[in-house]
Amino acid sequence: MSPAGRASFHGYLDTRIPKDGRIKKSGYCSMRSKRIRKSFKRDATYDWNIYNTLVIKVRGDGRSYLLNISCEGYYDITWNDIYHYVLYTRGGPYWQIAKIPFSKFVLGSKGRLQDKQTRMQLDRVTNFGIACGDRFDGVFNLEIEYVGLEYDPTHDEDFAYEMYKTEKFITKKTMSSVSVQNQ
């Protein structure tokens, strides 16, 4: 917490890899909310279906930060799927309010953007987090006044990114159409 009673995400970002033989990556810092639990420490999820926009009021330092939302996966291969949005801060003494529709978040897994994008499952949200990893060494500081959710009736976008649908066996059809043309 900052002296003013706000959340403060700050530190020093260093992209040099330590020569200890164990650490393989460096240059990022992140934080995320704790997962909510039911009685007897059973896992629970947030249900954000009635909302369509994330609202965050921050005072940044001019760096870009990554907003992350994790959703519970059905299978173990989807447990590392996280939806990302890049938040650009202005820096300086002024606050900025960002209203980000959930349709603008992109799907990534283990830090890699996925070719097949899907919409966020808003009824299975587990965590919200913020990360800094813009490859610039130095001090970073993001002061957070609040993070909230709202329903914006003017926003009707289902998903902001193109969804490509290809046939399952496109190579077989291509090969058979070539053989037909040669005959």
What integer pLDDT is reported at residue 116 of this predicted model?
80
Q: pLDDT tens digit string along 42-74?
A: 888 999 999 999 999 999 999 999 999 998 877
What integer pLDDT is reported at residue 87 of this predicted model?
94
Q: Please report the domains of the chain, with CATH numbers, ordered by start residue.
A: 7-182 (2.60.120)
For residues 42 and 53, what is the distance between their CA atoms, to the nearest angstrom? 28
Residue keyed to tokens 């299978």 = 75
What integer pLDDT is reported at residue 31 of this predicted model?
92
What integer pLDDT is reported at residue 178 of this predicted model?
47
What integer pLDDT is reported at residue 17 of this predicted model?
82
What tokens does 23 get? Answer: 């650490």
Check if the beta carbon of residue 17 is closer than 8 Å to that of residue 24. yes
Name residues of the chain where pLDDT drops below 50.
Answer: 173-180, 182
